[in-house]
Chain A
Amino acid sequence: MVKSLLCCLSLLLSLNSCQGQSAPAQQPAADPCANRRYQDSLVTRYQDSLVTRYLENGAQRFGYNHPNWEKYCDSLIAACPNVAEAYREKAIPYLKNGDYARAFPLEDRAVVLDPKRNTAYRAFLKCIFTKDYAGALVDFERAEQLTPGGYEMDHTYWFYRGLCHLELGQLEQAAAALQRDVAAQQGGDQRREPHFNTLFYQGVVELERRRYPQAEALLTACLRIYSSFPDAHYYLALALRQRGQDAASRQHLLLARAGLQKGYGLNEDNVYYANYPHQITRYEVEQALQPAP
């Protein structure tokens, strides 16, 4: 019922706009109402006004754990069931609060409605929030087809694909994906330094591949950019230990401990919601500092 009323409202809005701008009868070709793109723009303007009303000036004033968040999202869905953003926003509290059965059908709906804008986001959620690495890879591959060279949460799709392969133990593919991430960041200029988290994960992959000198070089390069990064110190310590450099290894474990004590850590926006792959805590550092039995 509500939907029907709003469809009528939308139609009236379109008709009014068309009447206001209609061209003289002798120039029918100039009539914007005959133009499909113009019709679409009216729908877009109407939808945008609802997004502003219900999300930007509505739900987002309260925060996603307030009951009004969902009410505003549902209002937008009732008015315009095809606005992907409404489903994506509605999913946020469920996702962050561990209710995946409610979160992911909403994310799926957002992907169906607007795959270009939402496929990579769902892939990111699977990679970082639910550790569904195989599912994330499927989505990232699709996202790359839809928006080649795209970014999600500050990183290329290749970055996340590297993390997924790493966690699945597909180390060659992880190394190749992260190299594609570096290439995308550098854009042909090899003097440009990659993101420190790319260097970090490249180092971890090399460590897992037991290519310790390469791991050491990459983690050292990472620490040149972010010198207090505890996780990089920790994995560098493991690489050095494998090469018999016990004193240097211990030094980096102590730096990892000091960094964690000062509040440093893996620097990503979503790290408060979910641990990133291979992220460590003080416990792992203390375990590594224990003398070998």
Chain B
Amino acid sequence: MAGLLAGGALLSLPALGQRVTTPQGEYMDTTRRLNPKCPGVYPYYYSVKLKYPRSSATLRAEAQAFLRARGGHYAGSGYITFRFVVDCEGRPLPRTQVLQTDAAYQPAHFAPRLVEELYAFVGTLREWPRAKRPGSGEAVNYIALVSFKLTDGQVVAVLP
């Protein structure tokens, strides 16, 4: 569905999660938009030795402040994880998978609004580093993830 609107400006609004379920999993956005300047290589963040340039403690405090400012009250414990590609120019691409588990790592679903608020928070992270392929130095895309550990609706840690 979202693919029909690929390239549309509306889809770049970070708070508009679409929550589409496909055979490959659950997505906040299924739009496939590629940067033509970037080769289609997708190593994971650890293969290019990159993570978002904030400590887990800083991200936890920022995420918690973001939720507080939006005035929501939530429940539930476990993990909400967003996976997406950061292109070779350091821009996150819209297609975003969401994975959710309870605290015992069993598949679960949190309140949709909480998922959408955390997705909106991820959209505020604008300093993704650019990856270079080890050896050649060629700029490449990479797969990033941001995972929120929640206890009783509070963000208690941000992974990785």
Please count how many residues in chain A sit with their CB below 8 Å of the partner chain's CB atoms: 25
Knowing A98-B83, A130-B149, A132-B149, the reply to whether A279 touches B56 (Cβ < 8 A) is yes
Query: 0/1 per residue, B83-116, Cβ < 8 Å to A?
Result: 1000000000000000111010111000000000
Contacts of A279 in B (CB 8 A): 55-56
Knowing A130-B149, A272-B46, A275-B51, the reply to whether A100 touches B56 (Cβ < 8 A) is no
Pairwise interchain contact B99-A131, C-beta atoms closer than 8 A: no
Contacts of B105 in A (CB 8 A): 100-101, 103-105, 130
Contacts of B79 in A (CB 8 A): 100, 130
Q: Does A183 contact B (CB under 8 A)?
A: no
Q: Does B49 contact A (CB under 8 A)?
A: yes
Pairwise interchain contact A100-B99, C-beta atoms closer than 8 A: yes
Query: Whole-angstrom distance from the CB of B156 to the nearest CB of chain A?
Result: 8
Query: Whole-angstrom distance from the CB of B108 to the nearest CB of chain A?
Result: 8
Contacts of A131 in B (CB 8 A): 56, 149, 156-157, 159
Query: 0/1 per residue, B114-132, Cβ < 8 Å to A?
Result: 0000000000000000000
Q: Does B54 contact A (CB under 8 A)?
A: yes
Residues of chain A having any CB pair with chain B under 8 Å: 65, 96-101, 103-105, 129-132, 272-275, 278-284
Question: Mind listing 18 A-B residue pairs with CB under 8 Å?
Answer: A65-B44, A98-B81, A98-B145, A98-B147, A100-B105, A100-B147, A103-B105, A104-B105, A130-B149, A130-B159, A131-B157, A131-B159, A272-B46, A275-B159, A279-B55, A279-B56, A281-B58, A282-B53
The 9 closest A-B pairs by CB, nearest first: A104-B105, A131-B157, A98-B145, A272-B46, A274-B160, A98-B81, A101-B101, A275-B56, A101-B107
